[in-house]
Amino acid sequence: MKNGLLITILSLLFVGCSHKVPALNNNNNNISDANEISPDTVSIDDHNYDDSNNMKNNNILSSNVMNNSSDGFRSIYFAFDKYNISSNMQSNMSTNIKVAKDSSHKIKLEGNCDEFGTDEYNYALGLKRAKAVKDEMVSQSIAPAKMIIISFGESNPVCKESTNSCYERNRRVDIHLLK
């Protein structure tokens, strides 16, 4: 009897902890049913990427979107489930490196994710994204001690619509001067 109760409780615990995310409807890129998905089950075409896992040329990458600060930094955007800096973001990285070199202040790199995945996974992915930006800046002669990294995971979205465009805007690293 005790084993049956224990199995039932554990089963409910695991089912209750699953993270459901909406599936994309291929016809209009809006949200349809809520289904369980993982990065292995998501079609690359559903997320507007080319074969090299870079984001296709779209508004978010062809524009130089500023951070939500007035420091002059530009956000760095990432492909779904990726933390490598794409070639499309090199112009933004160059701007950020110039701003960082011209300042004597410390820099905060904030990693962010879209809503897909567990809180823990997105927190780790946000840290990897912030570290990738830090590593790139270090390779361009910015002192590592000048930078701190933080992850907000999925908890700091810039938009909340259920669209590919919104998801792309949330997969980013924002950079701020600490004054």
C-alpha of 92 from chain center? 16
Q: Are strands 21-24 and 106-112 parallel, antiparallel or unpaired?
A: unpaired
Q: Rounded to whole angstroms, what are the CA distances from 58 to 49, 61, 117, 126? A: 10, 6, 24, 22
Q: What is the pLDDT of residue 83?
A: 97
3-state helix, strand, coil in the chain (%, to 5): 40, 20, 40
Q: Which domains does the chain have, with CATH numbers?
A: 59-178 (3.30.1330.60)
Query: Coil, strand or helix: which one is 62?
Result: helix
Q: One digit per residue, pLDDT tens: the chain, 179 residues?
A: 566 555 656 554 444 444 444 333 333 333 222 222 233 323 223 333 343 444 444 444 444 455 555 689 999 999 999 999 999 999 999 999 999 999 999 999 999 999 999 999 999 999 999 999 999 999 999 999 999 999 999 999 999 999 999 999 999 999 999 98
Q: How much is the pTM?
A: 0.66
pLDDT of 146 reads 96
Decide: 173 and 110 in contact? Cβ < 8 Å: yes
CA 65 vs CA 13, 62, 73, 78, 166: distances in Å: 42, 9, 9, 13, 13
